[in-house]
């Protein structure tokens, strides 16, 4: 079983279409047609929006800002892969056979995380 997980990169906006984002890995792009669903998969809620928290601010604070002191990338990657499984038939068709291994690998890393105040696991 190949447990090597590629790095998935999220792009909030496509330069050619400001209403769509995409996820990229290994020079492939998987389009996000509903950014609200994507942010919801990451844990962003309507209540946060009402409180004035922007989606990208939430992503930064939850998964990126503390990378010098903790590694939240496994949680972030786990959410991205889960989103692709749920909402991208192209991803599922191309990578479904190895995607399960990727999910398992990231889930193992997440389970080993000992961040006491992890916002992602509340």
Which tokens is 87 given? 């909402």
107 inside domain: yes
Q: Is the pTM higher than 0.75?
A: yes
| Among 101, 47, 55, residue whose Cα is nearest residue 77 | 101
Q: Which tens digits make up the pLDDT trace of 89-110? A: 999 999 888 888 888 888 787 7
Q: Does 23 fall in a domain?
A: no
Q: Is residue 19 part of a domain?
A: no
**Number of domains the chain contains:** 1
On whether residue 16 sits in a domain, the answer given is no
Give the model confidence (pLDDT) of 13-48 as tens digits: 766 666 688 899 889 999 898 889 999 998 899 999
Residue 107 near residue 5, CB atoms below 8 Å:
no
**Domain for residue 69, yes or no?**
yes
Domain that holds residue 49: 35-114
| C-alpha distance from residue 88 to each of 23, 29, 50, 99 (Å) | 11, 11, 29, 12
Please check whether residue 11 lies inside any domain of the structure: no
- Cα–Cα distances (Å) from 72 to 15, 92, 119, in that order, read 27, 24, 10
Asked if pLDDT for residue 4 goes beyond 80, the answer is no
List the one residue out of 44, 47, 122, 29 whose CA is nearest residue 84: 29
Task: Decide if 76 is inside a domain.
Answer: yes
With respect to residue 41, please indicate whether it lies within any of the assigned structural domains: yes
Tokens of 57: 């601010």
């Amino acid at each position: 079983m190949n447990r090597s997980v590629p790095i998935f990169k999220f792009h909030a906006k496509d330069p050619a279409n400001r209403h769509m984002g995409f996820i990229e890995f290994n020079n492939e792009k998987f389009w996000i047609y509903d950014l609200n669903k994507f942010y919801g998969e990451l844990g962003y809620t309507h209540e946060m929006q009402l409180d004035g928290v922007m989606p990208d601010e939430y992503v930064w604070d939850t998964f990126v800002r503390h990378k010098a002191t903790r590694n939240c990338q496994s949680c972030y990657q786990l959410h991205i892969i889960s989103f692709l499984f749920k909402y991208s038939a192209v991803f599922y068709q191309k990578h479904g056979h190895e995607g399960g291994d990727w999910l398992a690998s990231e889930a193992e890393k997440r389970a080993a995380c000992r961040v006491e105040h992890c916002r992602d696991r509340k």
